[in-house]
């Protein structure tokens, strides 16, 4: 479920994006996964036509097929949202009306199945220049997102510290 105060509109970052229709306070739920969200096991991803892969996102030990307007959320290295838990994206800070709603793709997309390295043009002061499925391994990234990462990313961080790298 996407917050009703968030709409799809032209983006300064990338074609189309999610824009706040009115001011949204820090901590407000931006998106919550609904029970009827289509979930795919890793072996089923290959059965999905390639042009739809951009709508498949990592979720725990499987993947979800995003069918609502959340599919239009763009990346920022300095996002205004982050994860409250595995299923809930919240406002990281107050979001002003007409501001684009963003999240850091590297907080969830930690495998090559869901994201390939891409050049980032977000314009944030802390822009990493590129976004990869291995960004979660960076200690600065971990510190910045501490307490606001989904469980599968936390598990991947722990595994990378023990040498059992998942991605």
At residue 127, the pLDDT reads: 96
pTM of the predicted model as reported, rounded to 2 decimal places: 0.79
Q: Assign 167 a pLDDT band (cuts: 50, 70, 90).
A: very low
Q: What is the chain's alpha carbon radius of gyration, rounded to the nearest angstrom?
A: 15
Is 167 inside a domain boundary?
Answer: no
Q: Is 79 part of a structural domain of the chain?
A: yes
CATH code for the domain of 84: 2.170.270.10
The pLDDT assigned to 49 comes to 53
For residue 44, pLDDT over 70 is answered with: no
Query: How many domains does the chain contain in total?
Result: 1
1 falls within a domain = no
Do the domain assignments include residue 67? yes
The string of pLDDT tens digits covering residues 65-121 is: 556 666 778 999 999 999 999 889 999 999 999 999 999 999 988 887 767 899 999
Tens-place pLDDT, residues 106-149: 998 888 776 789 999 999 999 999 999 999 999 999 999 999 99
| Residue 136 CA from chain centroid, whole number | 12
Domain that holds residue 119: 6-161
């Amino acid at each position: 479920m996407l917050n009703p105060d968030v709409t799809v509109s032209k983006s300064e970052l990338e074609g189309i994006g999610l824009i706040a229709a009115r001011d949204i306070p820090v901590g407000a739920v931006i998106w919550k996964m609904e029970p009827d969200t289509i979930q795919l096991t890793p072996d089923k991803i290959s059965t999905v036509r390639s042009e739809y892969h951009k709508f498949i996102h990592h979720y725990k030990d499987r993947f979800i097929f995003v069918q609502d307007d959340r599919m239009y959320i763009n990346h920022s290295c300095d996002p205004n949202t982050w994860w409250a838990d595995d299923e809930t994206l919240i406002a990281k800070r107050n979001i002003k009306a007409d501001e684009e709603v963003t999240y850091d793709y590297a907080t969830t997309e930690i495998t090559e199945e869901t994201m390939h390295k891409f050049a980032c043009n977000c314009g944030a002061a802390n822009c990493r220049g590129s976004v990869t499925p291995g960004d979660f391994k960076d200690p600065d990234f971990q510190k910045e997102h501490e307490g606001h990462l989904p469980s599968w990313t936390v598990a991947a961080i722990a595994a990378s510290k023990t040498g059992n790298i998942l991605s």
